[in-house]
C-alpha cells in the first residue's frame, strides 16, 4: 500500500523538510499514507514519472488512513510535497470552535465550513502557515499549540485556533483545507 520510493527517497524527503518536519513524523507518514497520481500519468514516460512534472504533481492525490486517530490526536501526512495535518477533535474542541463569533475572525469560517458534513470532528488542513509558509507547531503531542489551542507558527508568531483559523499574528488566512473526500470507511483521499 505505501509507496515511499525506498529508503533513498525517504531520506531525501526527510532532508527536504528537516527544518519543519521531524524524522518521526515521516515515520508516521510511511505508516499512514499512500500517494498516487491520476490516470493521465499512465501515458507519461517512466523517466518523467521518476521526476514528476508540475502538471503531474498538481493532479496527485494522497490517501490517508484516519481510522486510528482518536479524539484529541493528530497525525501528519504529506500532500503534493507539503505537510498535511489531520486532527480528530474532541467534543470539547468542537464546542470551543463553534463558540467563536465567526464575524470577528480575520478569515471568517465556521468549523462546518472547514470539515465534511457529518464529520465535523475531522479537521484536515495543510501544515503550511499562510504568512510565509513555515510549518506550524501543534500537531505533535507536547508542541506549542499557541494561545487558541490549535497551531502556533514560530517563524513570526501566528496563532491558529482549534479549527485551524488564524486568530493572532501576521498570517492573513486560515490554514488551507485541501479538497478531500472519504475514499472508503476510515480512509480519506486528498486531492
| Minimum distance from residue 154 beta carbon to ligand FES (Å) | 8
Residues in the chain: 191
Closest approach of ligand FES to the CB of residue 83, in Å: 13
Residue from 28, 131, 156, 159 carrying the catalytic annotation: 156
**Cα 37 to Cα 118: distance, rounded to the nearest angstrom:** 28
Nearer to ligand FES, 84 or 94 (CB): 84
**Binding-site ranges for ligand FES (CB under 6 A):** 129, 131-134, 153, 155-158, 169-171
Q: Nearer Cβ to ligand FES, position 29 or 171?
A: 171
Residue placing its CB nearer to ligand FES in the complex, 25 or 63: 25
Secondary structure in 3-state letters for the chain: CCCCCHHHHHHHHHHHCCCCCCHHHHHHHHHHEEEECCHHHHHCCHHHHHCCCHHHHHHCEEEEECCCCCCCCEEEEEECCEEEEEEECCHHHHHHHHCCCHHHCCCCCCCHHHCECCECCEEEEECCCCCCCCCCECCCCCCCCHHHEEEEECCCCEEEECCCCEEECCCCCCCCCCCEEEEECCEEEEC
Which CB atom, from 137 or from 187, has the smaller least distance to ligand FES? 137
- Min dist CB 107 to ligand FES, Å, is 14
131 a catalytic residue: no
Report the nearest approach of ligand FES to the CB of residue 130 (Å).
8
| Residues marked as catalytic | 156
Amino acid at each position: 500500500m505505501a509507496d515511499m520510493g525506498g529508503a533513498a527517497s525517504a531520506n531525501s524527503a526527510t532532508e527536504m523538510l528537516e527544518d519543519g518536519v521531524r524524522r518521526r513524523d515521516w515515520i508516521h507518514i510511511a505508516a499512514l499514507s499512500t500517494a498516487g497520481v491520476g490516470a493521465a500519468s499512465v501515458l507519461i514516460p517512466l523517466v518523467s514519472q521518476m521526476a514528476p512534472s508540475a502538471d503531474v504533481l498538481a493532479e496527485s492525490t494522497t490517501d490517508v488512513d484516519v481510522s486510528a486517530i482518536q479524539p484529541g490526536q493528530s497525525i501528519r501526512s504529506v500532500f503534493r510535497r507539503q505537510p498535511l495535518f489531520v486532527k480528530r477533535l474532541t467534543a470539547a474542541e468542537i464546542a470551543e470552535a463553534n463558540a467563536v463569533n465567526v464575524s470577528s475572525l480575520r478569515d471568517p469560517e465556521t468549523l462546518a465550513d472547514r470539515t465534511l458534513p457529518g464529520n465535523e470532528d475531522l479537521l484536515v488542513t495543510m501544515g503550511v502557515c499562510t504568512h510565509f509558509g513555515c510549518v506550524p507547531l501543534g500537531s505533535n503531542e507536547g508542541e506549542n499549540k499557541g494561545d487558541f489551542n490549535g497551531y502556533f507558527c514560530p517563524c513570526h508568531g501566528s496563532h491558529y485556533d482549534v479549527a485551524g483559523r488564524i486568530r493572532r499574528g501576521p498570517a492573513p488566512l486560515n490554514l488551507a483545507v485541501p479538497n478531500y473526500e472519504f475514499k472508503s470507511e476510515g480512509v480519506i483521499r486528498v486531492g
